[in-house]
Amino acid sequence: MKTLLALEPRILFDGAALVTGAEVAQDQTSQDQSMPGTNTDAANNSGEPMASAHEADWANSLLLAAPTPSDHREMVFIDTWVEDYQTLMNGIHPSAEVILLDAGRDGIEQIAEVLKGR
């Protein structure tokens, strides 16, 4: 008799959110500078506490470290064990680097080999 077992929770970390946050922050800064008489302290009338200086410095360092859109490279790993994996390749952006994983070898080892030295 087969039973289903729940897997542990998985988390995917993606740098795209950081880039989006940097773009929003940059747009907000541009708007604040272009609107004379804008008082950012007075604009926070929601009753929410303002970020501390430490939090603001930390957020700014993350935004400054974010790559610009032209700096990113996309790599797509496809396991050739997947049935009709060629169909997956049709939906991948042409600028992305596609790496086909050998179904007979450990996938994690192959990914590590590709990423080594990059």
Query: What pLDDT sits at residue 25?
Result: 65
- Running DSSP on this structure, what letter comes out for residue 76? E
- Is the sign of the CA dihedral 32, 33, 34, 39 positive or negative? positive
Q: What is the pLDDT of residues 20-64, one digit of tens each?
A: 666 766 666 556 555 555 455 554 555 555 656 667 677 777 767
Query: What pLDDT sits at residue 30?
Result: 57
The CA–CA distances, whole Å, from 93 to 15, 40, 50, 74 equal 18, 41, 41, 9
pTM, 2 dp: 0.41
List of residues 6+ apart from 61 with CB closer than 8 A: none
Q: Is the pLDDT of residue 1 over 70?
A: no
- Cα separation, 40 vs 46, in Å, equals 12
